[in-house]
Amino acid sequence: MNDIYSILLLEEDVILSRQIRQLLNMNNYNVFIASSLQEGMEMCKKYTPDVVVCDMRMRGGSGFQFLVELRNNTAMHNIVYISINGKDNREEMRTCMNLGADDYLPAPFNGKELLLSIKARLARFATLNSARHPPPRNTIVTTLSLEVPEEINSKLSKTETRVIIMIADGLNNKEIAEALGISTKTVENHRHNIARKLELTGHHALVKYAIRNIKKQLKITQ
């Protein structure tokens, strides 16, 4: 990447936070560290980072609380949120995704997994800020990202917005998973959450809704 993206790391473990910071700095990321949820929210409001990496088990609260506050703040609800946790807990993963997390990395995870997760999510929305990333010509996904109706965009997280765009463009779960660098199970969770937030029911309701409300935008931009 040519641009330096900012990442806020919420982690109480001093040694672990230093290790992650060093890893991210070496890969051209600007890193802020917060050791409490309150400090983390203050830094989010002050710096508006591109990505938040949050340990779900913090003193004085939980990463769930932080995620809810982040998603409910219109100035910050599009920040990429990656949850890290000390164990592989399917129920907790589901809760995170329901609340709008973009990824969930259970321990033990290595530095490569974290870097790939961050890179994949930033890459999908790199062209949203046209001042920093001029959109390539004839890039359908980029155009669609800018044309998603506000009544849809305001209800969904960044990753959910990407998923519904790809659904509108005819991609299946496997293709979406490969494009976003996530598992097909995670894609299924995102589809479930999108349908719930948009109050859609029925097996094909989400596909029909996406085509009807987003696919039309392709005619404007191609």
Number of neighbours of residue 35 by Cβ within 10 angstroms: 17
Lookup: tokens for 114: 């974290």
Write down how long the chain is.
222
Q: Which of 137, 176, 138 is nearest to 159 (CA)?
A: 176
Domains of the chain by start residue, with CATH: 5-124 (3.40.50.2300), 127-221 (1.10.10.10)
What is the distance between the alpha carbons of residues 87 and 98, in angstroms, rounded to a whole number?
A: 18
pLDDT in the model for residue 222: 42
Q: What is the pLDDT along the chain (222 residues), one digit of tens a residue?
A: 446 889 999 998 888 899 999 999 999 999 999 999 999 999 999 989 999 999 887 877 778 889 999 988 888 888 999 998 766 678 888 888 888 888 888 877 788 889 999 988 887 666 444 444 444 444 444 333 436 778 887 888 888 888 888 888 778 888 888 778 788 888 888 999 999 999 998 878 898 888 888 744 434 334
In whole angstroms, how far apart are CA 220 and each of 14, 129, 146, 150, 205? 51, 20, 12, 17, 24
**Cα dihedral 205→210→212→214 (10° resolution):** 170
pLDDT in the model for residue 32: 94
pTM exceeds 0.85, yes or no: no
